[in-house]
Chains A and B, each alone.
Chain A
Amino acid sequence: MDEQNILHGDAELMNSLSALCAAPGATLGDAGKGVPQGVAAEHHSMDAFGNAYHWYRLVEPGALEPAARRLKEKGARLCMISPYNVRQMGELRPEICYHFELDGVVYNLTATPDARRPAVPSITPIFANADWHEREMMELFNIVVERHPNPRRLFLDEKLDAGILNQAVPLSVMMNGACTTDLWERILAGKGDKA
């Protein structure tokens, strides 16, 4: 791949986002902040058609606000927010990837919130179209979005517990109960919650 093409993007913006990333090789801090071990703080990729994608792992969730403000100043658009769980040392830890687009280039920011009480600041005051994404991740992933201007449920009825879908056991996990440990891990985790 052509190095010039890989680095296609707004240099000034890329420098600002790099400054909000952890130094390469940084480890998880006491409060669960920083970059997990073995994960690059920043990398750049290009698809088969020459479109550039830049990936940044924020030093802490609080860095999201200055990063989002910088992207807004540059005229970027929020495309999507992807929350997901990563299994680490047998425990699920949430991470959230924010995808922005500017002049055909995609900038991805990954926030690594504290696993014990996953929380990120709301970027809806900066990007109005983050509203639905943030409300969805509050109700489906039980992630606390701080200072959200309208934290109502989006899909699920208000009476249902937050993160209810994390508790569900899919049919395939049930069916494979005899040959994998997934089912028992889930049951034991459920017991732990009650205790």
Chain B
Amino acid sequence: MSAQTFSMPLGPVHVALEEPVYFHLTVDGEIIRGVELTSGHVHRGMEAMATQRNLIKNTTLTERVCSLCSNSHSFTYCMAVENVLGIEIPVRARYLRVLAEEIKRVASHLFNTAIQAHVIGFKSLFMHVMEVREMMQDVKETVYGNRMNLASNCIGGVKCDVSPELLTYIRRQVEKMRPAVAEIRDIYASNSMVLGRTRGVGLLPHDDAERLGVVGPVARGSGIARDARKDSPYAAYMDMDFNVPVYDGCCIHSRTMVRLDEVMESFGIIEQCCERIPDGPVTAPMRQIHVAEACARSEAPRGEVFYYIRTNGTDMPERLKWRVPSYMNWEALGVMMRDCAVADVALITNSIDPCVSCTER
């Protein structure tokens, strides 16, 4: 280390960080030259807990891995169990799973976008985005009875059917939200204060994004068209007409625009689900548990979620392992923060939409 550089600890608990994580920044004046990250402050041993519970109880456990991606975890876990047991879920359940997933995606992306405005100091924009997001929170509460953990998925399908009246209500809410989100998108795309803090900042070049195997909007903001919903369609995504927004600016702004464009695409998917959902049962029966292994993956709001399960003939899994999207994206911060100002650390961290609790499980 030269005489001009010094080390600056940030965290594990800091006003600019939502969750406990420790950054060790090497700075040269106000410019960051190196980043080291220490995690482990909220390790809950959930993978070990999963091997002490039966397959059904683990649906509830996995939904608590993450709050904003909660539905993606129980969804992917159920798919892994269905793959290992050879269960084929009914078509109506496939649509209902996609419906819940996209409702969660809209709320998750708007939350991250709102926090960005908060970090910038654009308080009125923060309040406005949260107010629009509240309409989707109302949908969750009205349809599923809860604002965060929907408890919608179960092994073999979904727990509760959604009535035609509720489907009509969802469509009305989407109609109200669509112009509001379009307006928010315009603000993020053109406001000089937002652009001044986000465009060209926190760069993750395409090659680095490929090398580090990043996922979700972080990958798609660096020009990589990677989306499990398109690459290996599951549930009812093969029947849905939607685009995968990709930007090649490689900066915070590109990641934000990916998220806001995806919200608009999610509205389209929600509407298609409400229109096309067929009648029929919403669950398939359980099957005998053998010695087997399987995996499943899905596209959560933050990127690909991957589950691996091994069964040993009992109702408790021998091993349940999952990899959350943030786990792949943390190391990209080292690239994004290099040669950036200390003042941009919180904004860059927010741009990967990090989740410490799910990284550490």
Using CB atoms and an 8 Å cutoff, list the residues of chain A in contact with chain B: 45, 47-49, 51, 53, 55, 77-80, 82-86, 97, 99, 101, 103-106, 108, 127-129, 131-133, 153-157, 165, 168, 170-173
Is A82's CB under 8 angstroms from B294's CB? no
Which residues 298-321 of B have a CB within 8 angstroms of A? 304, 306, 308, 310, 318-319, 321
Is B293's CB under 8 angstroms from A97's CB? yes
Is A132's CB under 8 angstroms from B330's CB? yes
Instruction: Tell me, rounded to whole Å, the shortest Cβ–Cβ distance linking B306 to chain A.
Output: 5
7 residue pairs, one from A and one from B, having the closest CB atoms: A155-B40, A129-B213, A104-B232, A84-B319, A80-B323, A82-B321, A104-B231
Is A48's CB under 8 angstroms from B89's CB? yes
Is B295's CB under 8 angstroms from A99's CB? yes
Q: Do A78 and B294 contact each other (CB < 8 Å), given the known contacts A49-B235, A132-B327, A165-B48?
A: no
Q: Is B20 an interface residue (CB 8 A)?
A: no
Known: A51-B233, A82-B319. 6 other contacts (CB 8 A): A53-B83, A108-B295, A129-B331, A153-B40, A154-B39, A154-B40
Is A82's CB under 8 angstroms from B308's CB? yes
Q: Do A49 and B238 contact each other (CB < 8 Å), given the known contacts A79-B304, A80-B306?
A: yes
Is A155's CB under 8 angstroms from B306's CB? no
Q: Is B159 an interface residue (CB 8 A)?
A: no
Is B52's CB under 8 angstroms from A170's CB? yes
Q: Chain B residues near A133: list those with CB within 8 A.
A: 323
Contacting residue for A128 out of B79, B213, B296, CB 8 A:
B213
Chain A binding surface, main DSSP class: mixed
Q: Chain B residues near A84: list those with CB within 8 A.
A: 310, 318-319, 321
Is B39's CB under 8 angstroms from A155's CB? yes
Q: Is B271 an interface residue (CB 8 A)?
A: no
Q: Chain A residues near B294: list those with CB within 8 A.
A: 45, 47, 53
23 contacts between A and B (CB under 8 A): A47-B294, A47-B296, A48-B82, A48-B83, A49-B232, A49-B233, A51-B233, A80-B321, A83-B321, A84-B319, A97-B308, A99-B308, A104-B231, A104-B232, A106-B297, A127-B213, A129-B211, A129-B213, A132-B327, A154-B40, A155-B43, A155-B360, A156-B40
Q: Is B212 an interface residue (CB 8 A)?
A: yes
Give the docked Cα–Cα distance between A152 and B234 (Å).
Answer: 37
Q: Is B341 an interface residue (CB 8 A)?
A: no
Give the docked Cα–Cα distance between A131 and B48 (Å).
Answer: 22
Q: Is B61 an interface residue (CB 8 A)?
A: no
Give the docked Cα–Cα distance between A165 and B361 (Å).
Answer: 14
Give the docked Cα–Cα distance between A138 and B310 (Å).
Answer: 21
Q: Is B9 an interface residue (CB 8 A)?
A: no
Q: Mark B325-344, 1 if CB is under 8 A from A, else 0.
A: 00110110000000000000
Q: Is B45 an interface residue (CB 8 A)?
A: yes
Give the docked Cα–Cα distance between A191 and B104 (Å).
Answer: 50
